[in-house]
């Protein structure tokens, strides 16, 4: 959801509370908004706790992750999908990488907090024979 929409809904709740119940309505609306913010914070903390316990930049299958990705996804949505924190490759542009055990990796470029480009990289044939 867009941040402006969230703040507009919070303001609408406060205004509706004022017109419906006076100052008690404002207290109720502010309490509801604070509760909503605490729920969102709790959700993010649980997600980061689960992702932090997994190996950094590791996924079960990079191909499956790549197939589920789409443009416009936020980094938190990608972390929820991969269940792992990515490895930051560069800051400008913001590029993150996840890799599976076979060496297949997925690189995502973010701009404005949203995914704008995703690339699936596979190891070269010479790398596999050298490792075997």
Q: Which residues share a beta bridge with 120?
A: 106
* Alpha carbons 73 and 40: distance in angstroms, whole number: 17
Query: Domain extents for the chain?
Result: 3-52, 55-131
Q: Is a pLDDT exceeding 70 seen at residue 127?
A: no
Percent of the chain with pLDDT over 70: 94
pLDDT of residue 6: 85
pTM: 0.77
Mean pLDDT across 114-131: 78
Confidence bin at 129 (pLDDT 50/70/90): very low
For residues 54 and 28, give the distance between their C-alpha atoms in angstroms, rounded to a whole number.
40
Average pLDDT, the chain: 90
Instruction: Collect all residues with Cβ–Cβ distance below 8 Å to 30 and sequence separation of at least 6.
Output: 14
Reported as a single tens digit per residue, the pLDDT across 25-77 is 999 999 999 999 999 999 999 999 999 898 999 999 999 999 999 999 999 99
CATH architecture for segment(s) 55-131: 2-Layer Sandwich (3.30)
pLDDT band at 84 (very low <50, low <70, confident <90, very high): very high
Give the pLDDT score at 119.
94
CA angle 107, 86, 113 (to 5 degrees): 75
Q: Residue 11: what pLDDT?
A: 93
Residue 132 pLDDT greater than 50, yes or no: no
Which residues sit opposite 107 in a β-bridge?
97, 119
Mean pLDDT of 22-26: 94
Q: What is the C-alpha separation between 17 and 92, in angstroms, rounded?
A: 45
């Amino acid at each position: 959801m867009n941040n402006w929409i969230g703040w507009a809904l919070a303001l609408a709740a406060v205004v509706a509370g004022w017109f419906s119940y006076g100052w008690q309505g404002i207290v109720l609306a502010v309490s509801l908004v604070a509760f909503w913010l605490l729920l969102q914070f709790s959700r993010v903390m649980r997600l980061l706790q689960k992702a932090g316990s997994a190996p950094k930049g590791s996924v079960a299958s990079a191909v499956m992750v790549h197939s589920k990705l789409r443009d416009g996804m936020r980094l938190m949505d990608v972390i929820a999908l991969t269940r792992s924190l990515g490895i930051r490759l560069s800051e400008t542009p913001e590029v993150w990488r996840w890799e599976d055990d076979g060496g297949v990796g997925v690189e995502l470029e973010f701009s404005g907090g949203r995914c704008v480009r995703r690339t699936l990289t596979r190891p070269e044939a010479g790398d596999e024979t050298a490792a075997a």
